Chains A and B, each alone.
Chain A
């Protein structure tokens, strides 16, 4: 699957809804901006993975729900949740 900015936002909202146990309609997409990430894990390596050290272009997606903000990072090939309760997660690649 190849992500667009829009499809990455939708997938991120689905993930957050399941994760928080709430309806997607309760999640607001605050912003999705172009970003350059430090490596191929989008600067959000999970579970001790090691990543190619090449800068990659993608999107930083900020969602909010219940007065809290959540950061997702995506590029054409993958979607990650950054620093959720102290950990990063690979959502899809």
Chain B
């Protein structure tokens, strides 16, 4: 491109930005006027002694905007400022993706539409989900692997006999052998603390007696995570996207339950055995106390994981035991970026008992090479009645009903859901990596899906036609 053309392009871009800003501002003034009327109505209702529904507790940036290649952060700031908006955060792992907060009380749909209209500059813009109250008022050592003799593979954890998913002896009316063959897998490996599994969830009770030995801690040589827009995080024990000042202690229990399935310390005479007796669990907290959260916070947490991976933390798996029917291009891009960084993303298929090929569930439905979507089976190797399925969009099944695992306050409890199925797959992924640390994401995913036990109950329901088998998966 010659210099003359460059100036023509810059001039056109400037005109477009200015025009878009002016038009957008006019639209927002209209909306503000409309909101003012609503405000007057609200004041009148309050004066009458009633309350207006819709009070909002929210600090979520309103829209995700992905700018096209070539638009610089400085230009994005200028565009945002011209629209009386604020750049809330840049998602460094996805080029051009930012969160924008508007400062003049426009509704999020208008803001997203305004940015989406800048077609020469913007790839897409979408409203972020919110949580609202609506109240009218590679250096592995063989030393990492434990003994392979058969007598040591049966752990001494006192509740192990309740873990039908790992070894089904027919207890509680189950079908003998309807399990993931953990005992056989443990003949090969019982895991390695060199493998980091990120649990993207409600946090983890990192002081739990059955988890604390297997928790990731930021190494002294790795600086605390710092983000240009969000500041420095307290990430000694992991990431808390709901509050950068706090650590990722679980205040719900769900993330702790998933973590126990992946890596409760095995053979320690306490509670249960995780699929990995030894592993490093990194909490990425974005779900709040109620067990629900926002897409924007999930993206920020994934961005954190990618950053830590690039700084040498061996994160190879993210477990995502959550979802919704909301499709987000920004979330998909963040997960794809995780794949580019060598991270497998294991997602729960959902609990509506429906076909994901017909009614999509996200993030499990994102058609990405690093995503595995997981359905749930029960103690009889049948598809759990609540589990979503999908011949094209759901890839594998794993035990997910009546799963015993760790809970808050050194407790244990049963829980059911595809939330419980996904960490079985994430755990087996980590187990494979403990003996084959250099597998690519593609190879890892293929290994897991090619090593299933094919079951009649799963034919036509999941693409692999089978239930997870840890023993076959760790065979080279």
Contact = CB atoms under 8 A, between A and B. Distances in A.
Interface of A: 14-15, 18-19, 21, 38-41, 43, 45-56, 77-78, 81, 89-93
Interface in B31-72: 50-51, 53
B417 interface: yes
B291 A52 contact: yes
B260 interface: no
Contacts of A39: 291, 322, 350-351, 417
B130 interface: yes
A50 B136 contact: no
Contact of B292 (A49, A89, A91): A49
Interface stretch (B12-20, B93-101, B171-179, B293-301): B293-301
A46 B322 contact: no
B128 A54 contact: no
Contacts of B386: 38, 55
27 contacts: A18-B50, A18-B53, A19-B53, A39-B417, A41-B292, A43-B352, A45-B292, A46-B134, A48-B294, A49-B293, A49-B294, A50-B129, A50-B293, A50-B298, A51-B323, A53-B348, A53-B350, A54-B420, A55-B351, A78-B290, A89-B53, A89-B132, A91-B133, A91-B134, A92-B135, A93-B289, A93-B290
B214 interface: no
Given A38-B352, A40-B254, A90-B134, A53 B417 contact: yes
A53 B351 contact: yes
A54 B416 contact: yes
B415 A55 contact: yes
A53 B386 CA distance: 10
A50 B326 contact: yes
B129 A90 contact: no
Contacts of B131: 46-47, 49, 90
B134 A52 contact: no
B324 A46 contact: no
Say whether chain B's binding surface is mostly helix, strand, loop, or mixed.
Answer: loop
B395 interface: no
B323 A50 contact: yes
B1 interface: no
A21 to B, nearest CB: 7
Given A38-B351, A55-B416, A90-B134, A48 B290 contact: no
B290 A77 contact: yes
A39, A43, A46 — most chain B CB neighbours (10 Å): A39
B363 to A, nearest CB: 9
Interface in B100-147: 127-137
A45 B324 contact: yes
B292 A51 contact: yes
B324 A49 contact: yes
Is the interface on chain B under 10, 10 to 19, 20 to 34, or 35 or more residues? 35 or more
Contacts of B53: 18-19, 89
Contacts of B202: 52
B415 A50 contact: no
Contacts, number: 127
Closest 8 interchain pairs by CB? Answer: A48-B129, A40-B291, A18-B136, A89-B134, A54-B417, A38-B351, A52-B291, A53-B348
A52 B132 CA distance: 17
B290 A40 contact: yes
A12 B295 CA distance: 28
Interface in B407-441: 415-420, 422
B291 A51 contact: yes
A39 B287 CA distance: 13
B417 A51 contact: no
A52 B419 contact: yes
B322 A51 contact: yes
A43 B388 CA distance: 14
Contact of B132 (A18, A47, A50, A53): A47
Contacts of A54: 254, 257, 291, 321, 351, 415-417, 419-420
Given A52-B321, A54-B420, 11 more contacts: A18-B136, A38-B350, A40-B287, A41-B292, A48-B127, A49-B324, A50-B322, A54-B254, A89-B132, A90-B132, A92-B133
Contacts of A18: 50-51, 53, 136-137
Contacts of B323: 50-51, 53
Given A18-B51, A91-B135, A48 B291 contact: no
A41 B51 contact: no
B201 interface: yes
A56 B202 CA distance: 15
Nearest to A88: B134
A67 B44 CA distance: 28
Contacts of A53: 321-323, 348, 350-351, 417-419, 422
Contacts of B254: 40, 52, 54
B252 interface: yes
Contacts of B350: 38-39, 53
B352 to A, nearest CB: 6
A50 B324 contact: yes
A72 to B, nearest CB: 12
